[in-house]
Amino acid sequence: MKVLSGSSQNALAQSLAQQLSLPLAKVEISHFPNGEKRIWIDDTLKGENVILVQSFSNPPDEHIMEFLLIADALERMGVRHINAVIPWFGYSLQDKEFRPGEPIAAKVVANLISHAYIKRAFLLDLHNTSTPGFFSIPVHHLTASELFAEHARQNLDLSNVVVASPDFGGLKRAKVFAEKLGVELVKIDKYRDLQTFEITNMGVQGNVAGKDVIICDDIINTGSTVVNAAEVLKQQGAKSVHFFATHGPLVTSAFEKLNHPAVDSVVVTNSIPQPTDLGKVKVLDVSPLFAEELNSWLRPG
User: What CATH number did the domain enclosing 268 receive?
Assistant: 3.40.50.2020
Residues 130 and 210 in one domain: no
Residues 88 and 206 in one domain: no
C-alpha dihedral sign at 161, 214, 149, 285 = negative
**Is 239 labeled as catalytic in the residue annotation?**
no
Residue 256's Cβ-side half-sphere holds a number of Cα atoms within 13 Å equal to 3
Cβ-contact 209, 181 below 8 angstroms: no
Which parts of the chain have pLDDT scores under 70? 168-169, 190-202, 252, 276-277, 299-301
Residues 114 and 153 in one domain: no
Burial (CB < 10 A; 0-12, 13-18, 19+), residue 236, is middle
Q: What is the pLDDT of residue 267?
A: 93
Q: How far apart are the first and last CA of the chain?
A: 17
Angle at 288 between CA 286 and CA 294, to 5 degrees: 110
CB-CB neighbours of 78 under 10 Å: 11
Q: What is the pLDDT of residue 131?
A: 94
Report which of 68, 45, 52, 47 is spatially closest to residue 17, judged by C-alpha positions. 52
Predicted TM-score (pTM) of the model is 0.91
Domain that holds residue 88: 2-143+288-298
Residues 139 and 13 in one domain: yes
Question: CA–CA separation, 101 vs 210, rounded Å?
Answer: 47
- Length of the chain, in residues: 301
Residues 216 and 175 in one domain: yes
Residues 15 and 34 in one domain: yes
Residues 170 and 85 in one domain: no
Q: Say how many domains are in the chain.
A: 2
Which one of 96, 119, 172, 190 is the catalytic residue?
A: 190
Residues 183 and 252 in one domain: yes
Residues 138 and 6 in one domain: yes
Residues 114 and 172 in one domain: no
Q: Which distant-in-sequence residues (6+ apart) come within 8 Å of 114 by Cβ?
A: 135, 136, 137
Residues 16 and 137 in one domain: yes
Q: What is the pLDDT of residue 191?
A: 60
Residues 129 and 88 in one domain: yes
Report which of 282, 272, 294, 283 is spatially closest to residue 90, judged by C-alpha positions. 272
Angle at 197 between CA 193 and CA 200, to 5 degrees: 50
